[in-house]
Amino acid sequence: MADPAKTELPVSNIQHVFERLRAGKPVIVTDSSERENEGDFIVAAEAITPEIVQFLLRHGSGELCVSLPDEVAERLQLNPIVGPEENTAPNQTQFLIPIDHKDSGSGVSAECRAITIRALSDENAQASDFVRPGHIHPLLAKQGGILRRAGHTEATGDLLHMAGLKPVGVLIEILSQEGYGMADAEELQAISKKFDIPIISTAEVIRHRYISEKLVHREVEVPINTKNYGTVQVIGYSVEHESQQPVALVWGDLSSVEAPLVRMHSSCFTGDLLDSLRCDCGDQLHMAMTAIYQEQTGAVVYLPQEGRGIGLIPKLKAYVLQDQGYDTVEANIQLGFKADSRDFTVGVQILKDLGLSKVRLLTNNPKKTDSDVYTGFDLEVVEQVPIVAPPHKDREFYLQTKRDKMGHILPTTPAD
């Protein structure tokens, strides 16, 4: 099969995608190569027919699911299969209890599945209309949609909502018909041409949503004189659908330079406040503030996502495991988390709120520079600026793990 990175997928106008969905026809949505790197068929649940179900099963061949917003899941009393702490799926997809409509017979045939799917989109449907377990897998879309989670579940609801349809939609992964994996870019393009189905990426959906809406809102701005970093303008933000309160620290006039120096920093209680030698977080934060202060223009976006997104208490538990011989990646995984659960979407929205379109990013982490979320938000990282903390024996193993297992750009031997 062709290398998907070497095959250009056609770019569809989002208005054409909306027209297709309004006509009750499927579209193909692709996600980032850094995520699942797959294409899914998506179609409005309210327009489903047995013929469409048959097409999706035959040419998609993945897991037939239905994306639902909170209000529908609550009305139909659809609970998660597992709780948040037990959800160890790579992308934390929120599978709800599988169901069939009570009038769908065995629930298996294309006709039976169509009955269940149409009922899920019926605003008058009630929990008693369905039997559990069944053959249709509802998925709970994250509040805030694709701006908070760049997955097919959220893309489905967002596209339908923007098209003026009910945000309840069918999605199914497109498996390769030539091999044993997912359909690559060449196969997706062939399907698109054969059946006249437009293709759109999650990055395009993000871009379209960002034109008219955002999740972050400025709540307060205040200048603060500091001991070592001059006067800093501190901007506090609220985030819709979440309790987190990120802040931006701004030096100078960001519009005065084409690409100001920027640091997106995830909170680290032990490193930032205690100068812990277990990690390089505190050093990176203060090195970044020093570099920006010296240039007199730039910003630090401080994101409350402790322990690479797992929270302070789990992070401390991970420290206990590290003392038993696990490295930082193994400890997170042992606790049931991904090696890095952070989400930089809020940080990117803050950078856009600050009026930035080009930045020089202080980071050693390729994840912060390579993600297509920047393309979705029309933000370009024009330079990755290294920020290597001084070597210390207490964190040598930690830095080696970041370099060897997480791809951070760090010296071969931290002590060099």
Q: Return the DSSP state at 161.
A: H
The dihedral over CA atoms of 65, 69, 71, 72, expressed in degrees to the nearest 10, equals -20
Pairing of β 99-101 and β 130-140: antiparallel
Cα 410 to the chain's mean position, in Å? 25
Kindly name the residue from 148, 342, 360, 395 that is annotated as catalytic.
342
Phi first, then psi: give them for residue 352, nearest 5 degrees.
Answer: -70, -40
Kindly name the residue from 100, 283, 340, 372 that is annotated as catalytic.
340
Say what angle helices 110-120 and 50-59 make with each other, to 10 degrees.
Answer: 110
- Name the binding residues: 263-268, 279, 281, 284, 306-308, 328, 363, 368
Active site residue 118: no
- How many C-beta neighbours within 10 Å does residue 249 have? 22
Active site residue 342: yes
- Name the binding residues for GTP: 263-267, 284, 306-308, 328, 363, 368
- Name the binding residues for Zn(2+): 268, 279, 281
Task: Give the side-chain half-sphere CA count within 13 A for 117.
Answer: 30
H/E stretch holding 321 reads helix 312-323
The dihedral over CA atoms of 302, 318, 90, 139, expressed in degrees to the nearest 10, equals -80
Catalytic (active-site) positions: 340, 342
